[in-house]
Amino acid sequence: MKNPISQLNKVFDSRVRLGIMSALLVNEDVNFNQLKELTEVTDGNLASHIKTLELNGYIKVKKGFIGRKTNTTYMATTAGEKAFRAHLDGLEKMIQNMK
């Protein structure tokens, strides 16, 4: 039997990254402050998690402006969506195996 753990993605091990991907999957785009409210972590912490996801090609960053203030929004890439869905499938299989 194939071990379902092998389907789990190391990148999504952290709760913060999981939260970011969850939000990006159901919203077209989400900005930094919204992610901060959702994940309840500090700016620096959140930024480093975003960086990891970005380096893996799972999210893309769009810099824009609201008036003169910068407004950075994040979107999930197709690869990111695929990877996250595979991760969810893996979790589901683990639950089925436990039963």
Partner 1 sequence: MYFKVLFMTRKTDPLNTLSDIKSMMEKSSRFLSLSGLSGIGMGIIALAAAFSANNIIKGASRFSKDGSYPSYPEYMTKSLLILAVATLIIALAVGLFFTIKKAKKLRLPLLDNTSRRMLINLFIPLLAGGIYLLKLLDIGYVELLTPSCLIFYGLALIHASKYTLGDIRYLGIIEIILGLFNLFWVSFGLWFWAIGFGLAHIMYGMILWNKYDKVD
Considering beta carbons, is residue 56 or 91 the nearer one to partner 1? 91
Nearest distance in Å: CB 58, partner 1: 15
Binding site for partner 1 (CB under 8 A): 3, 5, 8, 13, 15, 18-19, 22-23, 25-27, 30, 34, 37-38, 88, 91-92, 94-95, 98
Nearest distance in Å: CB 48, partner 1: 19
Nearest distance in Å: CB 2, partner 1: 12
Measured over the CA atoms of residue 18, residue 19, residue 20 and residue 24, the dihedral's sign is positive
CA-to-CA dists, residue 94 to 30, 70, 86, 89, 91, angstroms: 30, 42, 12, 9, 5
